[in-house]
Amino acid sequence: MFMAIEIKNAGFAYGSHPVLKDFSLKLPESGWVCLFGPSGCGKTTLLRCLAGLLSLQSVEIAGLERKRVSFVFQEDRLLPWATAEENVSFVLPAKTGARCWLKKAGMGDFADKRPPQLSGGQRRRVAVARALAYGGGVLLLDEPFSALDSVSRGEMAELIDREAPDALKILVTHDRAEADLLADTVFLLAGLPLTICRVEKGKKQTENSANPQKK
């Protein structure tokens, strides 16, 4: 199992505009956590700080040390000149096994296609496959299902559950139905600066409480 992650008194600003100010958050060691709030409230900035892509100011973070962190970005971050297989292969030490991950994500028949030849939903699937192939104890998901229909969203969520059962999965969304359906815990956020309004149980935690043997 993975240790819980705790952020204390985080600060971050774009110029003179604070996004995080004395922000604190404690996350569980595993399961699905949803950061739900309106667009522009600072959810994506928080994820990028957790990933180390932005430098937090005056902050103490416990539990992230030596953890491998995977990220599915809100925007497409696939290399446009590389095939789907090559995009996944880049994160694999032996550069092999990418087709297997693409097949799991329903993209086995599109391994030789480049991102411009794929639909938005297909590119999302490749991005999820790449993050799962990279692995790790923390999976950051910034609107990962935005270009997918409801059936495909369910398929991708089940894939993530199956391939990363013990990881902490931090989902950013502004879709409340998606938050309630997927998350064990939902943090209701507002901003700016980013503020936790309240914390609620998601449907998954409610179901697991009612069925203790269900994982």
What value, to the nearest 5°, has the Cα angle with vertex 71 and ends 86 and 49? 140
Each residue of 79-128: pLDDT tens digit? 999 999 999 999 998 878 999 999 999 999 999 999 999 999 999 999 99
Do 90 and 114 share a structural domain?
Answer: yes
- What is the CB neighbour count within 10 angstroms for residue 195? 15
Each residue of 61-70: pLDDT tens digit? 888 877 889 9
Give the residue with greater pLDDT, 214 vs 89. Answer: 89
Instruction: Name, in order, each residue with C-beta under 8 angstroms of 40's C-beta and a sequence gap of 6 or more.
Output: 191, 192
Structural domain of 103:
83-134
Do 142 and 118 share a structural domain?
Answer: no
Each residue of 121-165: pLDDT tens digit? 999 999 999 999 999 899 999 999 988 998 999 999 999 999 999
54 within some domain: yes
Where do we find the tokens 């398929």?
A: 155
Do 142 and 130 share a structural domain?
Answer: no
Do 181 and 153 share a structural domain?
Answer: yes
Give the pLDDT confidence score for residue 165 in this predicted structure. 94
Whether the predicted pLDDT of 2 surpasses 50: no
Do 94 and 11 share a structural domain?
Answer: no
Q: Find, among 57, 67, 79, the residue nearest to 27 by Cα.
A: 67
Give the residue with greater pLDDT, 3 vs 136. Answer: 136
Whether the predicted pLDDT of 1 surpasses 50: no
Mean pLDDT of 157-184: 92
